[in-house]
Structure 1
């Protein structure tokens, strides 16, 4: 059986999904007291050397390059650690190449803004005008524009393609072919909601290619890299580029092979660069688009300001997104105006941090994903606390008294727009709101009609629709908002006091049961293998496979596409005879293994490492790891009870009931 292997693209962005929970007790703060910032190269180097001498930093580091600029000067461009551990090769800040992943979006946005300056594109015009041979389906009646793509508000049904790391020796997939093969549909009104959009930036890159009549990578090289003197930057993995790449390392410290992107030229995340080159790009961004020292310019000041204006936000008190830039960690801003962009790919992480009002910037790239998010955050915090420390001149947020009746409008179940399996249950009480999510329970206190604050000072906000109803929520995720799910429709056999009621109605609200619309839920009936896989893949939210069914007994199944997709992802397996047995009841141990495999390939936010638990009862050897993992993570309902010794009889070989599957999906991830 030949299987097309797929991985969850969302895994590449998982480190920027959950916003840092460092307390922040203000918004729209008064600017900090004037600081000289990073203005002395010797002092800057001493400061950064001290940071990398820290014991905690040493445990997280393999190799890094750091560039710091201010005014029109490079204050630091230095390598730390190794580009290759085995060879003990040091990082060369001028020559060692790193993948900067999604920082590439700032280059793509720059290319679009250049065309807008030249009058070749209109940011408010229909994007299909600029897409040679491509027409994006749109069900909304609202025009999709370049501006929507720039601000991650396209309304696409899918925003992450299945871009596995490719073999550099294989034939490259052209950008045009990729765009056509991965074509999504606009299903939400463009401009209405923020959902981080990798595919949207690939569309922008293809628009640049279509309008100019030149390959995107050539436009980036000729119009951006060359004028700025970024002689070592590229979107193409040529043999010369590959020979100078830092070796990437995974979270366990294992070296990874160099890889190509799919497509081979990837506007949303394929750029490769050095510390020296990124310093030149930062200087242009901080000096009105001018290339320092050459007299040339890549953009005018108006376009630069437009890129750095965080024009889309759920609330004025919470920083949003601009053209290529965003505000990933507002709790680290220390009252300064900051725009930034992070990048995450296999074995590499990076961050670009700009303070436009201070004309200062920081860039860091790492060649390991081991504690890389923690290291990036620690570096940014150290930089900000050293050069732009917090002051006491912050605005006090006074609680706003709202009656419980006024707060009830916010109640409901909310699902993340990018990762729908991440959900928030919100209930009102006399003093505010209670939010239940995968991180526990949180209390929100109102400080404005649509703005709230938790006990740590982190802000949350809601957005109304055009009728004044609550439609969206933003709290602990930096890369998308959450939508309010439809009100539940009562089943005759699931009253409010049913022990599985909240799980069952969650499945209904998430449309996991869309192919089974019936007046009764039948909670104590067994769930078939086809139904379980169909609901799991609906919850995953990724595009379904267009490949024909490889199982001989699923061709005419209503869940045929979901089953084929799960097979391609490696979530399920068939019998030696090529059968899936879709109508057979799903056993509890089979369900546990399917969910664990989904975690291992990147679905969910709980992490890929299976957990262990104390089991009793009978479980087949092939399923023990999966059952232990599900039990340890609590992916079950009231049917599972620990004994006095903390052991669990999962009843592994029994068929899973429909109500039990609903509980499993509610608890996930």
Structure 2
């Protein structure tokens, strides 16, 4: 869970994991002598993990971390590294230092759901509306939503991420019922047909637990999961006591982040607080047939159901179990692994279970520095080295690869566009992480040169409908039709490709009803925010706007969402001036705030010429460094770019800024 509903973190994590500590080789100072036997001796596991954390890049960047490794019913490692509070040099104590585990919370929520299903108190395949009381979910399809769909992240909701999931008011109390009454979703795609990460779906699961069990979600989890397992330092509430032991969160620059509460207060999709010790106990229960010692929280049969594939774009590329996920399968070295990660500003967690080996690994950190993927890859290379090379590509098996070519829009983050073309018996994918070559290894299943798999799905007519690539973990992408061209944007228009891109993503349409884009007209502040929020995939807010002058704006709730995300601050107290032209430096600052606050992008250096107001310098430098502009910006003889910061931004220039921001982010 992230302030943008994990939206930002997933993008950032994908890129950082590629760029930081690739982890393909051995950890310095540790041999691979243990071979495929897996972790056995606590002393050897500690040497391995110590060596990982002693790497200079890790030492330089990290704040603190807790790591747990379990096998069978034993804890092989439970250790803290670095500092829970850097300024006070307070070391991480794995037994007492509390971290936000963010979306790892979802597997605890799923465990609660499966307990009630096992007891016959709810039916995973029944229409979920029977468990929702006063809460109503709109459905534009003829297929009812079930608990199984919710557990698989296959809800079909229009939006799964909302902007108001955190608060600085730690005394604020928002119940699950009130939250869902205020934010009830609408189903626009057939449930069960598409995979898309969905925070709102797990919030609904927590509310169903309340309804069926007849007690608050947090009380249920304490009584039926935490207490039986001896997880004495875990909670879904940020109490005054655990606040004292909460690791201080830091951003990527090492600045302290504010302590936030969650909305709703007990947030089933991402509000759990825990320690390394407690998460070790949870993993052991899941690896030992649902029990620790003689205490059982689930039956062995239910545990098996939770750990097996439930939704897959291809049988060899699964996406979801119940609550658990599958990702980066190439890093598992042929082992069967289910996992769950969690991301919120300043905290990042990862949990991996290898059920066949009864081995579990958990890591949690308190800084926006990504090393979970390199850590797990190093762990697997050390303890379960790959038996041989990855599956060979067999050349094109389909009669024509051309049917896969096209533009695909991520179902969760519209800004993530994959452009696919067929070339010399291969598919070439262009996305925000670069260009990738895919080789067909089975019908509809592909693999890149690094062993990362991708797959396509057909609809009932046999047409290619969806695409998933294991570099982008949280959603399938939908194949898009070609957009209708605007009458005033011809094929040779210098900004035409960017305008067409945003129209194809349904970010912009016929705002005036005459199929004219008016590319050289200045964009207003409200229009730009409307484009930005639609393009991000975040739902418009349902809260009352804080700005007094936006009530009549068609973008009022988009503006409120941007305010809740900290992207805009308004002008002159409680006024936003929605119809005022947006300056170029204002636009650059808004996208920079999104990049820095939610995608954990670090500041960029760039030579800029001309006048830029001091408050906008970082944003303009970012826009120039990432070349988020068209032919309107020209470099001088010294390589400095005059961004024309104080001039109004034209609509065609706004299209370039947003289109190139996604394509050039990493």
TM-score normalised over the length of structure 1: 0.89
1:557 to 547, 553, 556: 553
Structure 2 residue aligned with 1:545, among 541, 547, 550?
A: 541
Residues 625-664 of structure 1: CA deviation (Å, up to 9, x unaligned)? 4333212211112333334432223334444333222222
Write the distance in 1 (CA, Å) between the matches of 2:278 and 2:242.
Answer: 14
For residues 560 and 282 of structure 2, the distance between their equivalents in structure 1, rounded to whole angstroms, comes to: 44
Task: Map residues 606-645 of structure 1 onto 2, 5 A cutoff.
Answer: 607-645=600-638
**Partner of residue 459, structure 2:** 465
Q: Distance in 1 between matches of 2:464 and 2:527?
A: 32
Instruction: Output the CA distance in 1 between the equivalents of 2:389 and 2:567.
Output: 53
Q: Distance in 2 between matches of 1:284 and 1:275?
A: 15
Q: Residue 31 of structure 2 corresponds to which residue in structure 1?
A: none
Contact 1:20/1:329, CA 8 A, preserved across alignment: no
Shift of residue 548, structure 1, vs aligned partner? 5.3
Deviations 1:500-543 (A, max 9, x none): 22212112212222334433333344434433332222212222
Q: CA deviation at 1:102?
A: 1.3
Partner of 1:439: 433
Mapping 1:502-581, distance limit 5 Å:
502-514=497-509, 515-547=511-543, 554-572=550-568, 576=572, 580-581=576-577
C-alpha contact 2:498 2:655 (8 A) present in aligned 1: yes
The 1-side partners of 2:184 and 2:157 are apart by 9
> Structure 1's 112 and 449: CA in aligned 2 closer, same or farther, altered over 3 A?
same
Alignment of 1:125-524 (within 5 A): 125-167=126-168, 169-256=170-257, 258-292=259-293, 295-369=294-368, 371=369, 373-374=370-371, 376-392=372-388, 394-400=390-396, 406-475=400-469, 476-514=471-509, 515-524=511-520
Looking at structure 2, the residues matched to 657 and 260 of structure 1 have their Cα atoms a distance apart, in angstroms, of 39
Contact 2:395 2:425 in 1 (8 A): no
Task: Report deviation, 1:46.
Answer: 3.0
C-alpha distance 334-568 of structure 1, shift in aligned 2 (>3 A): closer
Report the Cα distance in structure 1 between the residues aligned to 2:178 and 2:258, rounded to whole angstroms: 25
Distance 2:607 2:16 in 1: 33
- 1:355-405, Cα deviation, whole Å (9 max, x unpaired): 111111111222333x2x22x2232122212211112265333222556xx
What's the secondary structure of 2:449's corresponding residue? coil
SS in 1 for 2:66: strand
Q: Deviations over 1:53-109 (max 9, x none)?
A: 333332233332222111222222222333333443333333332222211111111
Shift of 1:218: 1.5
When residues 619 and 348 of structure 1 are mapped into structure 2, their CA distance, relative to the original with a 3 A threshold, is closer
Q: In structure 2, do the counterparts of structure 1 residues 257 and 493 end up closer, same or farther at CA, with 3 Å as the change threshold?
A: closer
- 2:8 equivalent to 1:11: yes
Deviations 1:421-456 (A, max 9, x none): 121222233332332222333333333332223333
Q: Deviations over 1:275-334 (max 9, x none)?
A: 222222111111111222xx1211111111111112212222323111111123322201
Decide whether aligned partners of structure 1 residues 246 and 505 sit closer, same or farther in structure 2, where only a CA change above 3 A counts: closer
User: Cα distance 1:443–1:381, how it changes in 2: closer, same or farther (>3 A)?
Assistant: closer
Aligned 1:91-102 pairs, distance under 5 A = 91-102=92-103
Following TM superposition, by how much is the alpha carbon of 1:113 offset from its aligned partner in structure 2, in angstroms?
A: 0.5
8 A contact 2:588–2:623 mirrored in 1: yes
- Asked if residue 666 in structure 1 is aligned to residue 659 in structure 2, the reply is yes
Q: Is the Cα–Cα contact under 8 Å of residues 168 and 260 in structure 2 kept in the other structure?
A: yes
Query: Which runs of 5 or more residues in structure 1 are unaligned?
Result: 1-5, 25-32
Aligned residue pairs total 646
Residues 393, 439 of structure 2: 8 Å contact kept:
no
Q: Note the C-alpha offset of 1:354.
A: 0.9
Distance in 2, matches of 1:539 and 1:652, equals: 23
- Alpha-carbon separation, structure 1, partners of 2:209 and 2:501: 42
Q: Would the alpha carbon gap of residues 571 and 97 (structure 1) be closer, same or farther in structure 2, given more than 3 Å must change? A: closer
Aligned partner of residue 70 in structure 2, secondary structure: strand
100-109 or 266-275, which deviates more: 266-275
Distance between the aligned counterparts of 2:241 and 2:579, measured in 1? 54
TM-score, scaled relative to structure 2 = 0.89
8 A Cα contact 1:335 1:394, kept in partner: no
- The 1:276/1:618 distance shift into structure 2, 3 A limit, reads closer
How many angstroms does 1:119 deviate by?
0.7
**CA distance, structure 1, for counterparts of residue 76 and residue 566 of structure 2:** 49
1:464 offset after TM fit, Å?
Answer: 1.5
What secondary structure, in the 3-state scheme, does the structure 1 residue paired with 2:343 have?
A: strand
Decide whether the 8 Å contact of 1:416 with 1:423 is kept in 2.
yes
2-structure distance, mates of 1:11, 1:587: 25
Separation in 2 of the partners of 1:391 and 1:157? Answer: 43
Judge which range, 541-550 or 486-495, deviates more: 541-550
SS at structure 1 position matched to 2:292 = coil
Q: Secondary structure at the match of 2:312?
A: coil
* Change over 3 Å in CA distance of 1:103–1:638 after alignment to 2: same
- 8 Å CA contact 2:390, 2:451 repeated in 1: no
Q: Secondary structure at the residue paired with 1:35?
A: helix
Structure-2 separation of matches of 1:613 and 1:211? 57
Shift of 1:469: 1.7
Change (3 A) 1:265 1:440: same
SS in 2 for 1:344: strand
* Compared CA separation, residues 23 and 641, structure 1 to 2 (3 A): farther
8 A Cα contact 2:83 2:92, kept in partner: yes
**Superposition RMSD on alpha carbons, in Å?**
2.8
The C-alpha deviation readout for 1:205-244, integer Å capped at 9, x for no partner, is: 1100110101111211111122222222222233332333
| Mean CA deviation greater in 498-507 or 139-148 | 498-507
**Bigger mean CA deviation after superposition, 296-305 or 421-430:** 421-430
Relative distance call for 1:660 and 1:51 in structure 2 (3 A) is closer
Q: By how many angstroms is 1:458 displaced?
A: 2.2
Poorly superposed stretches of 4+, deviation over 6 Å: none
**Equivalences for residues 28-177 of structure 1 within 5 A:** 35-167=36-168, 169-177=170-178
Query: Could you list the runs of 5+ residues in structure 2 that have no partner in the other structure?
Result: 25-33
Distance 1:487 1:49 in 2: 53
Deviates more, 1:441-450 or 1:205-214: 441-450
The Cα of 1:348 is off from its aligned counterpart by 2.2
Q: How far did 1:117 drift?
A: 0.8
Classify 1:353/1:128 alpha carbon distance in 2 versus 1 (closer, same or farther; 3 Å).
same
